[in-house]
Structure 1
């Protein structure tokens, strides 16, 4: 009787792959935190556009950046809660942050460059922001403060965004539509 061949690395079940991915992300976060602890370490943040505004998102609070997936609308929810999307086998709530923050039109209609930016697993919130554009890493330490925003060398204004603070807002946690009356 022959021994069964060892399973190939790429043929692992999805749960094992997700576990390895989470372990890798955790190691990456730990290395980033250690690097940030050093004096004078540049602070890199993720630049993205939500509605008509450019935001800087702390890398420790961001999860994955994935192409826009089909979004299933959830009845009786507020307009800024777009619905649920399947991201690597997990359902995540999709948020139009521009509309949440008061922009009338919110995010543009689905376009090829749109992405979902998920919240980091450490935040304990299965959610994603709908981003019209992801600009990549930005050096916040090299930017000049202008009021509440930061200005880069090209004169572009960036607004810092804390997902950790967002998930503590009571209004953000209440996606059910208020009854008329």
Structure 2
């Protein structure tokens, strides 16, 4: 076996582990959606140093950051277009949109808007924290606080998709 075969097998194993992780997370998300308290389960993400909760009904896939095609004359927070499984999605850096500064990190992912929203878009997230149960959290000034004292901000992707400023990506 030569070096290129070993590297290819290593890459294939890494892709298989990533695929397995994504499938497990998708299964958990689908199970949470179909449970009796579907709205109580939310996806926790970190964007610009802030923890957000996304409704599982509104969130789509979680994918590694693919190459982006820049779109000229757009807002700085509109990063461009990404091809995700043959679909072109607009990619938004929500941290920049909210006037916070954040640079992509090695764990950066895209969370696509769910198909039910009919909005071909994805948010750049620094970290996917996993499923959270909002019913176990305490209200705290428009946010929620978990048992560890961490604050979470609910984020409605449907409301974001209707916001005039969010829809105006041109400069």
CA drift of 1:52 comes to 1.4
Q: Which runs of 4+ in 1 moved over 3 A?
A: none
Q: 2:82 aligns with which of 76, 82, 85?
A: 85
CA drift of 1:99 comes to 1.1
Superposed CA RMSD: 2.0
Partner residue, 1:67: 64
Distance in 2 separating the partners of 1:108 and 1:153 = 29
Partner residue, 2:140: 146
Max Rg structure: 1
Instruction: Give 1 or 2: higher helix fraction.
Output: 2
Distance in 1 separating the partners of 2:127 and 2:86 = 24
Q: Aligned residue pairs: how many?
A: 144
Give ranges in structure 2 of 5+ residues lacking alignment: 1-25
CA contact (8 A) 2:39 2:55 kept: no
CA drift of 1:80 comes to 0.6
Residue 45 of structure 2 is aligned to residue 51 of structure 1: no
Partner residue, 2:36: 35
Deviations 1:33-75 (A, max 9, x none): 5623xxxx77110000111111000000000000111111110
Give ranges in structure 1 of 5+ residues lacking alignment: 1-23
Residue 120 of structure 2 is aligned to residue 126 of structure 1: yes
Q: 1:161 aligns with which of 149, 155, 158?
A: 155
Cα 1:42–1:101 shift into 2, 3 Å = closer
CA drift of 1:135 comes to 0.4
Distance in 2 separating the partners of 1:32 and 1:100 = 29
Deviations 1:60-114 (A, max 9, x none): 00000001111111100001101011111111000011111121x2x313x2211
Distance in 1 separating the partners of 2:64 and 2:127 = 11
Q: What's the secondary structure of 2:73's corresponding residue?
A: coil
Q: What's the secondary structure of 2:44's corresponding residue?
A: strand
CA drift of 1:32 comes to 2.5
Distance in 2 separating the partners of 1:147 and 1:88 = 39
Residue 103 of structure 2 is aligned to residue 108 of structure 1: yes
CA contact (8 A) 1:83 1:93 kept: yes
Distance in 1 separating the partners of 2:154 and 2:34 = 18
CA contact (8 A) 1:42 1:141 kept: no
